[in-house]
Amino acid sequence: MKAITNNPIYLFWYYIFVNMAPSFYFALTHPIDSIGKFIIITFPLGLYMVLFSIVKNTGASLLIAFPLLFLHAFQIVLFYLYGEDVIAVDMFLNVASTNTSEINELLGSLLPSIALVLILYIPALILAIRQWRQKNYLNQSFRRKIIVPASLFLIVAFLLSYSSIPKNSDTLVFQKEIYPISALNNLVFAFDKWDKVKHYPKTSKDFKFQATREQVDNTKRQIYVLIIGETGRADNWSLYGYERETNPQLQQQDNLVVFQDALTQSNTTHKSVSMLLSDVNIEDYNSIYQRKGIIEAFKEAGFTTISLSNQAENASFIEYFTKSADIYKTLRTTNSKTGVTQNHYDAELIALMQEQIKENAGDLFILLHTYGSHFKYMERYPEQFRKYTPDKITNVSKSERERLVNAYDNTILYTDYFLAQTIKALTETDSQVALLYTSDHGEDLMDDGRNKFLHASPTPTYYQLRVPFVMWFSDAYIADHSQAIQAVNTNSKKPVSSSTVFHTVLNMAHVQTPYLNTELSLISKNFRPKPRLYLNDHDIAVPYRKMNLKREDFDMFDKRGIKD
């Protein structure tokens, strides 16, 4: 063993092997032809051969390449969650915007993948440090011999890339398909987006909705409520046919309208919620850097705006949009020294809402941003909502699926309670009230042979796309808006997406603006279903049927009667 660990040539190939680990997996799983799989192996092989032969102390090369090892580790953990996909732009942004508590909750449940990372890279780093300190060099003759085949691998891989076509694509785009170039390209794209978000206050400061309020004859106070859930998937709601009784209170609720065919436009929180809170057209998503959110429209129209959140602040569009309210409060404060965020249950938002309704006279727009069903599930509901057990999750694995589903279903049961209690509190105000609830995206729960878990995977699934979408109206609102209620009931049977939220909420509050499109308003007889699009990892709008969805997803779309 000592002869091997002291041999610089053996170490050279060992370092290449540990760096190639993600590429080997990509070659086995990536939806690409045989030429593409050959390129997935030969290009990084040539790249690493060059990298580790440039410097005579190979150990020093590995230490210099430590950021690359970190990238590999990140990629392997994502393989455990998502399977075939490369680290997405959105995943890099999620790491930057997710608080420490959420990261700790997730990593604590990914022990098998973390163990594999440690086994692969800790010994390599130890040997590299030892080789560097001992000045154990590769001889010049070997280094010269390596350059020729390495260069050949790189040239052949590049030339062959023009003849390989990945599934659901026209050409092989080198920087999007070949790891680690693909991951590094996504990292650069993420940095560019992050920089644009930082400059958002400047780029959007002059924007105006030119919003006014239509005069309506009524004597009652008006309250309009938008509730954004987190990670709620429709398939685990009994309102959507789930065999478990996860919506016992909502199923008894009068004046509730359920939209059976609703899809999100993104499976990532920072993009989905930003679109829910703005009028941004998915086909022109980059205009979001110059626009403001729905709260600003209500403010311009003369409403008092109240934004209450159970989400940690994360310097994203969501924070900019929600903090623009006249009154902004969040339950989740983060310790600046430890980065730990204290857990709060969503129902605590109700008391805050009631307090603000009492303290602020006049008509109100209220935004509630919940924590919903975000992993770690058993942290999202009090003890009395542990209906489905066992629900204590020790790690994320197929063997733990029953516990994962039980805990997740308990979060839906608690969401049902939260929404029912919110409606009860609003009913007690004796006001004209209209409420819309939807979730930002769904969740994978190892539902089929792919064993996918969580959300935000570069390629979404049916379970991440289909979301609950409900509206509720007070008796007083219904009495004065018979045509709108008729339209809502008619439109609830049509396919909808999260693109309707902004227009529906403004329309139900009689807010007029050039940015309101009644063809996207669910309370309007003018509503017209449009082809539903998904915002991919590089912010390009793609029809659902043209994404890299799998047979399992299309089977579920067909089974549930979900249309294009």
Q: What gap in Å lies between CA 331 and CA 352, rounded to an integer?
A: 9
Reduce the secondary structure of 227-290 to three states and give it as a string. Answer: EEECCCCHHHCHHHCCCCCCCCCHHHCCCEEECCCEECCCCCHHHHHHHHCCCCCHHHHHHHHH
Residue 100 predicted with pLDDT over 70: no
For residues 536 and 95, the model is more confident at 536
Q: What gap in Å lies between CA 355 and CA 191, rounded to an integer?
A: 40
Q: What gap in Å lies between CA 486 and CA 478, rounded to an integer?
A: 10
Residue 37 predicted with pLDDT over 70: yes
Q: What gap in Å lies between CA 396 and CA 81, rounded to an integer?
A: 9
Q: Return the axis-axis angle of helices 111-134 and 8-29, rounded to nearest 10°.
A: 150
Give the angle 504-505-509 at the CA atoms, nearest 5°.
115
- Cis bond before residue 390 (omega within 30° of 0): yes
Q: Which of 94-108, 114-128, 259-273, 334-348 is least confident?
A: 94-108
Q: Taking residues 406-425, what's their average pLDDT?
A: 98
Residue 381 predicted with pLDDT over 70: yes
Query: What pLDDT score was predicted for residue 471?
Result: 98
Report the relative pairing of strands 222-229 and 432-439 from DSSP bridges. Answer: parallel
Report the relative pairing of strands 364-369 and 541-543 from DSSP bridges. Answer: unpaired
Given a contact cutoff of 8 angstroms between Cβ atoms, the answer to whether 325 and 305 are in contact is yes
Residue 96 predicted with pLDDT over 90: no
Residue whose C-alpha is closest to residue 211's, from 521, 518, 515:
515
At 386-408, the pLDDT tens digits run 999 999 988 788 889 999 999 99
For residues 398 and 287, the model is more confident at 287
At 449-468, the pLDDT tens digits run 888 888 888 889 999 999 99
Q: Return the axis-axis angle of helices 140-160 and 34-54, rounded to nearest 10°.
A: 150
For residues 224 and 168, the model is more confident at 224
The mean pLDDT value of the chain amounts to 91
CB burial of 241-276 (b: ≥16 within 10 Å; e: otherwise) equals ebeeebbeebeebebbbbbbbbbbbbbbbbbbbbbb
Residue 460 one-letter amino acid: P
Centre a 10 Å sphere on the Cβ of residue 71 and count the other Cβ atoms it contains. 19
For residues 107 and 356, the model is more confident at 356
Residue 507 predicted with pLDDT over 90: yes
Mean pLDDT is highest, among 1-10, 20-29, 314-323, 438-447, for 438-447
Sequence-separated (6 or more) residues with CB below 8 Å from residue 146: 49, 50, 53
For residues 174 and 205, the model is more confident at 205
**Burial label, 477 (beta-carbon count in 10 A; 0-12, 13-18, 19+):** buried
* pLDDT tier for residue 261 given thresholds of 50, 70 and 90: very high
Query: What pLDDT score was predicted for residue 163?
Result: 76
Place of tokens 């050959």: 38
Residue 99 predicted with pLDDT over 60: no
The pairs formed by 94-99 with CB atoms below 8 angstroms and a separation of 24 or more are 94/268, 94/269, 94/270, 94/456, 96/190, 96/194, 97/270, 97/314, 97/315, 97/316, 98/314, 99/312, 99/314, 99/332, 99/334, 99/339, 99/341
- Cis bond before residue 180 (omega within 30° of 0): yes
Q: What gap in Å lies between CA 282 and CA 205, rounded to an integer?
A: 21
Q: What gap in Å lies between CA 515 and CA 495, rounded to an integer?
A: 22
Given a contact cutoff of 8 angstroms between Cβ atoms, the answer to whether 212 and 514 are in contact is no
* pLDDT tier for residue 164 given thresholds of 50, 70 and 90: low
Query: What pLDDT score was predicted for residue 379?
Result: 93
Q: What gap in Å lies between CA 321 and CA 289, rounded to an integer?
A: 12
Q: Taking residues 244-265, what's their average pLDDT?
A: 97
Give the angle 486-490-496 at the CA atoms, nearest 5°.
125
For residues 2 and 446, the model is more confident at 446
For residues 129 and 106, the model is more confident at 129
Name all domains of the chain by residue range, CATH numbers in brackets: 2-196 (no CATH), 218-560 (3.40.720.10)
Q: What gap in Å lies between CA 398 and CA 26, rounded to an integer?
A: 22
At 74-93, the pLDDT tens digits run 999 888 877 778 888 888 88
Length of the chain in residues, anyone? 564
Q: What gap in Å lies between CA 148 and CA 143, rounded to an integer?
A: 9
Residue 14 one-letter amino acid: Y
* pLDDT tier for residue 208 given thresholds of 50, 70 and 90: very high
Residue 544 predicted with pLDDT over 90: no
Centre a 10 Å sphere on the Cβ of residue 219 and count the other Cβ atoms it contains. 6
Residue 166 predicted with pLDDT over 60: yes
**Burial label, 191 (beta-carbon count in 10 A; 0-12, 13-18, 19+):** middle
Tokens read off for 374? 């975000």
Query: What pLDDT score was predicted for residue 284?
Result: 92
Query: What pLDDT score was predicted for residue 171?
Result: 53
Residue whose C-alpha is closest to residue 213's, from 1, 510, 2:
510
Residue 169 predicted with pLDDT over 70: no
